[in-house]
């Protein structure tokens, strides 16, 4: 029997994970003269194994380079320091230096070993970080670290940019009479605010898991979540997902505990999916979330291409915004994915309502298609009836508000 | 010395090409109860060699199938019959039959040989053609064929859908004391109107050119024009470019007349480029045309990927709409083309104004970048400084009007 996992979305989710503490401060990085939280530290006094998954963009921001260096060193990790408001991307050698300075300041002020802090930044591209403001605030932030719910919630807010709300999730279950927790926070989808970059997700667990296995678990979970969302198709220079495991629960999970390992993978998958869904749902000026499911493709790669062509089509996304069940545009987009599809074989359903069967429009159902497409959340099922390949993606509509929001700095 | 070619954009351009006649009528295909022209015939009493280039979409409309059949038969072609308002796409076996009926009616009514007419359709996807309206009107249209400027201009209008103006171009030059002409008409970019498909271009010449060579010339010209434009990245089910050559000028062009052949290729390239530019400029609710030029890529394929990533980025297109010279978004999009680019090597200019040199922002020029990006037509030059690959594309901005226009039927 599968272990029962409790999922919840409490404010201050990370405070429920044993052995982690956090704090957030305001550096006024954007020079707005306000006290918006824009820097946080998430810290484990005990050493963590850690793994990361990063943007595949050729152009990567300085903090991504810094994280990769730390993770490839194989040394234990003690925490993450993250700022919002400035992505430290396309900032040259000085940017690399600034990311290292942030890490150094964080490990020094938390009395952690050298090379044990990961750095993340999100915000404007192409501007140097105001280090004169940031460095002293890292000290202040380190001085207020605590495991309280309030501090965890403040950290979840400090990483946001154009997001309208914090994104926090928690999974907990029993393993040998001990509680294992995974708590996580995330921020906004893809390229979001004017000039802003980045999706960030930080996942913390008190299980003890070896670093190589952690990477495998995180890659599996990411492929079924963050890698399957699209708001505008723009992949940022800073996209980062981190997973830190400090072992504070006293539960050790590995290849020798296959049932516990499966439970952890299940919980991690769900944590990442829920965060990904929250990110999509909070996409810039979107009005609905659409899940596209393709089956019967010649391969899973082909299925994914069809999903992405549909999920990124401006015409399709505009029609969803208008509550228009426009199967012609869907089929056209599926066709230019060049996945070898054939009109005469396509079955297409809006939720459970048939729109095409073997390529033939079921036009009598048109009012019902319209009802489905008018919802805030619906699924389009496409069976290409060619092979065994399947895929899915979470997408959104495209609103006039998106264009207005992104038209200038 | 290169032959001097006269380029112009007269109303009724095709009437300047010897031996072609045309006519347009209204069938009220959209059931609007108005007399908007929506069907035309372009006809050559003398037999033509012909070539075509078509959409690469997996899903192709019935008229595309019909055109391919005619062209692959190798028989002489006598004309094109085209309707707007309905794309005859995703219409199954009945759609194929309807396309054949249109061709049969056109060749019969013009007393041309069987199998000598090409059919094109553009408009709504997924609805059967109202053949009861169309068939009698083909007879009426054939009965009013004439080589007049008025009829040619009416035909240029009859193929339009959401275009705001007809698109006509003409090239003429002297070859051995005889005038050679290429006249052409086109309609709208990519997927345009709500539910509407198709870019169509019909090119007519009175030169005599062998069919295989004609295909080669047309492919070359298309690769440097229609294949390098993007409004919304959506490739339609009906995209078609046709070239008909009837030899009525008395000038024969072939591999044995290399200078005349080069002149023809030059003229055809320019004709196709000018039509492509007109199509982009008339894209749905666009406010500006942007040429993206990439050089120094590892290959031309890589350069083209970078061009397309930038030209199709919603964030980049939204920023152009807002007159925002947002090089960060450009570089981000270039990076996710995965063409192996390196930030520290990029030179980027807005027209002639440097924005990045070896990856370093030339921020003192910011006011000048803004002036360039505020123009209706500008060029972005990106030198990746990695290799010899070059590419370019014509793109547009993305306006709130586009989304509003496409949000429902």
Q: Do B126 and A361 touch (CB under 8 A)?
A: yes
| Closest CB to B92 among A197, A322, A344 | A344
| Closest CB to A56 among B89, B338, B400 | B338
- Structure confidence by residue, pLDDT tens digits, B311-323: 988 888 888 999 9
Q: Which residues of B365-397 are buried (b: 16+ CB within 10 A; e: fewer)?
A: beebbebbbeeeebbbbbbbbbeebbbbbbbbb
User: Is B237 designated active site?
Assistant: no
Dmax over CA atoms of chain A, in Å, equals 69
Which chain B residue is nearest to residue A399, measuring alpha carbons?
A: B403
Active-site position among A198, A230, A240, A396 = A198
Spatial CB neighbours of A32, under 8 Å, sequence gap ≥ 6: none
Q: Do B315 and A191 touch (CB under 8 A)?
A: yes
Closest CA to A47 of A248, A287, A201: A248
Q: Do A59 and B360 touch (CB under 8 A)?
A: no
Which chain B residue is nearest to residue A191, measuring alpha carbons?
A: B315
Chain A neighbors of B189, CB-CB under 8 A: none
pLDDT at A191 exceeding the cut of 50? no
Q: Do A331 and B56 touch (CB under 8 A)?
A: no
Residue B139: predicted pLDDT: 97
d(CA B160, CA B167): 9
List A354's β-bridge partners, or say none.
Answer: A349
- Structure confidence by residue, pLDDT tens digits, A345-399: 999 999 999 999 999 999 999 999 999 999 999 999 999 999 999 999 988 888 8
d(CA A115, CA A95): 17
Give the phi and the psi of residue A306 in degrees, each rounded to 5: -65, -45
Say if CB B99 and CB B80 are below 8 A apart.
no
Which residue in A285, A332, A408 has the most chain B C-beta atoms within 10 A of its own C-beta, making it the best mutation to test that interface?
A332
d(CA B229, CA A40): 45
What does the DSSP 8-state code read for residue A232?
Answer: S
User: What is the pLDDT averaged over residues A27-43?
Assistant: 95
Which residue in B309, B312, B336, B402 has the most chain A C-beta atoms within 10 A of its own C-beta, making it the best mutation to test that interface?
B336
- In three-state secondary structure terms, B381 is strand
Closest CA to B88 of A337, A363, A316, A343: A343
pLDDT at A192 exceeding the cut of 70? no
| Closest CB to A318 among B89, B336, B403 | B403
How many of the other CB atoms lie within 10 Å of CB of B336?
23
Q: Do A57 and B315 touch (CB under 8 A)?
A: no
The strand order across the sheet containing A289-297 reads A360-361, A353-357, A347-350, A377-383, A289-297, A389-396
Give the phi and the psi of residue B21 in degrees, each rounded to 5: -130, 165
Residue B314: predicted pLDDT: 83
What is the share, in percent, of chain A residues with pLDDT greater than 70? 96
pLDDT at A198 exceeding the cut of 90? no
d(CA A219, CA A222): 5
Residue A193: predicted pLDDT: 36
Which chain A residue is nearest to residue B345, measuring alpha carbons?
A: A92
Concatenating the DSSP letter of every residue in B101-149 gives: HHHHHHHHHTTPPTT-EEEEEEEESS----HHHHHHHHHHHHHT-B--H
Say if CB B190 and CB B236 are below 8 A apart.
yes
Q: State both tokens at A196.
A: 């802003």
Which chain B residue is nearest to residue A345, measuring alpha carbons?
A: B92
Chain A neighbors of B124, CB-CB under 8 A: 328
Say if CB A52 and CB A66 are below 8 A apart.
no
Say if CB A245 and CB A214 are below 8 A apart.
yes
| Closest CB to A57 among B90, B236, B332 | B332
How many of the other CB atoms lie within 10 Å of CB of A344?
12
Residue B156: enclosing H or E segment and its boundaries?
A: helix B149-158
Which residue in A362, A406, A409 has the most chain B C-beta atoms within 10 A of its own C-beta, making it the best mutation to test that interface?
A406
Angle formed by the axes of helices B300-311 and B327-336, nearest 10°: 130
Which residue in B54, B59, B327 has the most chain A C-beta atoms within 10 A of its own C-beta, making it the best mutation to test that interface?
B59
What does the DSSP 8-state code read for residue A372?
Answer: H
Residues in chain B: 409
Entry pTM? 0.84
Report the relative pairing of strands A289-297 and A377-383 from DSSP bridges. Answer: parallel
Q: Do B322 and A407 touch (CB under 8 A)?
A: yes
Chain B neighbors of A238, CB-CB under 8 A: none
Q: Do B235 and A328 touch (CB under 8 A)?
A: no
Q: Residue with structure tokens 């020029």?
A: B365
Where are any strands of DSSP class E within B191-337?
Answer: 200-205, 240-245, 289-297
All residue ranges of chain B with pLDDT < 50 are 190-196
d(CA A331, CA A348): 9
Closest CA to A72 of A208, A215, A235: A215
Q: State both tokens at B290.
A: 């942007």
Q: Do B90 and A331 touch (CB under 8 A)?
A: yes
Concatenating the DSSP letter of every residue in A138-183 gives: HHHHHHT-B--HHHHHHHHHHT-SS-SS-EEEEEEEEETTEEEEEE
Which chain A residue is nearest to residue B338, measuring alpha carbons?
A: A58
Report the relative pairing of strands A240-245 and A167-175 from DSSP bridges. Answer: unpaired
Residue A234: predicted pLDDT: 65
Spatial CB neighbours of A211, under 8 Å, sequence gap ≥ 6: A49, A50, A51, A74
Which residue in B342, B359, B406 has the most chain A C-beta atoms within 10 A of its own C-beta, making it the best mutation to test that interface?
B406
User: What is the pLDDT averaged over residues A324-343?
Assistant: 90
Q: Do B125 and A400 touch (CB under 8 A)?
A: no
d(CA B132, CA B125): 19
Which chain A residue is nearest to residue B404, measuring alpha carbons?
A: A400
Residue B44: enclosing H or E segment and its boundaries?
A: strand B39-54
pLDDT at A72 exceeding the cut of 80? yes
Q: How far is B42 from chain A (nearest CA, A)?
A: 28
d(CA B156, CA B163): 11
Chain B neighbors of A191, CB-CB under 8 A: 315, 329, 332
Q: Do A57 and B194 touch (CB under 8 A)?
A: no
pLDDT at A409 exceeding the cut of 70? no
Chain B neighbors of A326, CB-CB under 8 A: 194-195, 409
Q: Do B328 and A195 touch (CB under 8 A)?
A: yes
| Closest CB to B407 among A318, A359, A402 | A318
List B49's β-bridge partners, or say none.
Answer: B245
Q: State both tokens at B373.
A: 């990006």
The half-sphere exposure of A230 on its side-chain side, counting CA atoms within 13 A, is: 24
Q: State both tokens at A121.
A: 């930044």
- In three-state secondary structure terms, A52 is strand
User: What is the pLDDT averaged over residues A302-319?
Assistant: 90
Closest CA to B16 of B243, B173, B131, B230: B173
Which chain A residue is nearest to residue B362, measuring alpha carbons?
A: A126
Chain B neighbors of A236, CB-CB under 8 A: 332
Say if CB B169 and CB B10 are below 8 A apart.
no
Residue B233: predicted pLDDT: 61
d(CA A364, CA A354): 10
- In three-state secondary structure terms, B172 is strand
Q: What is the mean pLDDT of chain A?
A: 92
Q: State both tokens at A240.
A: 């980062």
Q: Do B331 and A195 touch (CB under 8 A)?
A: no
Residue B234: predicted pLDDT: 65
Which chain A residue is nearest to residue B398, measuring alpha carbons?
A: A403
Chain A neighbors of B59, CB-CB under 8 A: 331-332, 334-335, 341, 343
Residue B189: predicted pLDDT: 57
Q: Do A126 and B361 touch (CB under 8 A)?
A: yes
Q: State both tokens at B42.
A: 């372009």
CB pairs under 8 A between A and B: 200
Active-site position among B91, B198, B230, B237 = B198
d(CA A120, CA A42): 11
Q: How far is B213 from chain A (nearest CA, A)?
A: 28
What number is the ipTM of this complex? 0.79
Q: State both tokens at B278.
A: 């007109």
- Structure confidence by residue, pLDDT tens digits, A44-55: 999 999 999 998
Q: Do A332 and B234 touch (CB under 8 A)?
A: yes
Report the relative pairing of strands B289-297 and B389-396 from DSSP bridges. Answer: antiparallel
| Closest CB to A237 among B322, B335, B339 | B335
User: What is the pLDDT averaged over residues A130-147?
Assistant: 98
d(CA A253, CA A244): 14
| Closest CB to B125 among A125, A235, A332 | A332
Q: Do B403 and A399 touch (CB under 8 A)?
A: yes
Chain A neighbors of B339, CB-CB under 8 A: 58
């Amino acid at each position: 029997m599968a272990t029962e996992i409790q999922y919840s979305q409490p404010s201050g989710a990370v405070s429920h994970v044993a052995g982690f503490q956090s704090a957030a401060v305001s550096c006024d990085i954007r020079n707005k003269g306000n006290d918006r939280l824009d820097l946080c530290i998430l810290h484990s006094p005990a050493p963590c194994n850690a793994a990361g998954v990063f943007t595949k963009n050729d152009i990567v921001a300085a903090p991504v380079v810094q994280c990769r260096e730390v993770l490839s060193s194989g040394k234990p990790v003690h925490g993450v320091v993250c700022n919002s408001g400035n992505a430290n991307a396309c900032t040259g050698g000085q940017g690399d230096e600034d990311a290292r300075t942030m890490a150094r300041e964080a490990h020094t002020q938390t009395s952690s070993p050298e090379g044990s802090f990961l750095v993340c930044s999100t915000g404007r591209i192409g501007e140097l970080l105001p280090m004169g403001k940031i460095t002293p605030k890292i000290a202040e932030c380190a001085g207020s670290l605590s495991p309280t719910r309030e501090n965890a919630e403040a950290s979840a807010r400090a990483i946001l940019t154009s997001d309208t709300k914090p994104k926090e999730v928690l999974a907990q279950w029993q393993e040998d009479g001990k509680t294992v927790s995974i708590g996580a926070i995330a921020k906004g989808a893809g390229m979001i605010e004017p000039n802003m970059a980045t999706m960030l997700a930080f996942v913390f667990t008190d299980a003890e898991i070896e670093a190589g296995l952690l990477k495998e678990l995180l890659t599996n979970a990411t492929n079924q979540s963050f890698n399957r969302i699209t708001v505008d198709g723009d992949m940022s220079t800073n996209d980062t997902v981190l997973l830190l495991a400090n072992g504070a629960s006293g539960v050790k999970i590995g290849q020798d505990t296959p049932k516990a390992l499966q439970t952890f993978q299940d919980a991690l998958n769900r944590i990442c999916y829920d965060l990904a869904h929250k990110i999509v749902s909070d996409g810039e000026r979107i009005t609905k979330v659409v899940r596209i499911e393709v089956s019967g493709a010649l391969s899973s790669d082909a299925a994914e291409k069809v999903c992405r062509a549909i999920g990124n089509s401006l015409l399709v996304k505009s029609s969803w915004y208008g509550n228009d069940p426009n199967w012609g545009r869907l089929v056209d987009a599926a066709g230019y994915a060049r996945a070898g599809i054939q009109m005469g074989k396509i079955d297409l359903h809006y939720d459970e309502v048939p729109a095409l069967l073997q390529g033939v429009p079921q036009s009598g159902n048109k009012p019902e298609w319209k009802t489905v497409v008018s919802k805030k959340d619906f699924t389009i099922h496409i069976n290409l009836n060619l092979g065994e390949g399947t895929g899915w993606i979470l997408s959104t509509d495209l609103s006039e508000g998106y264009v207005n929001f992104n038209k200038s700095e």
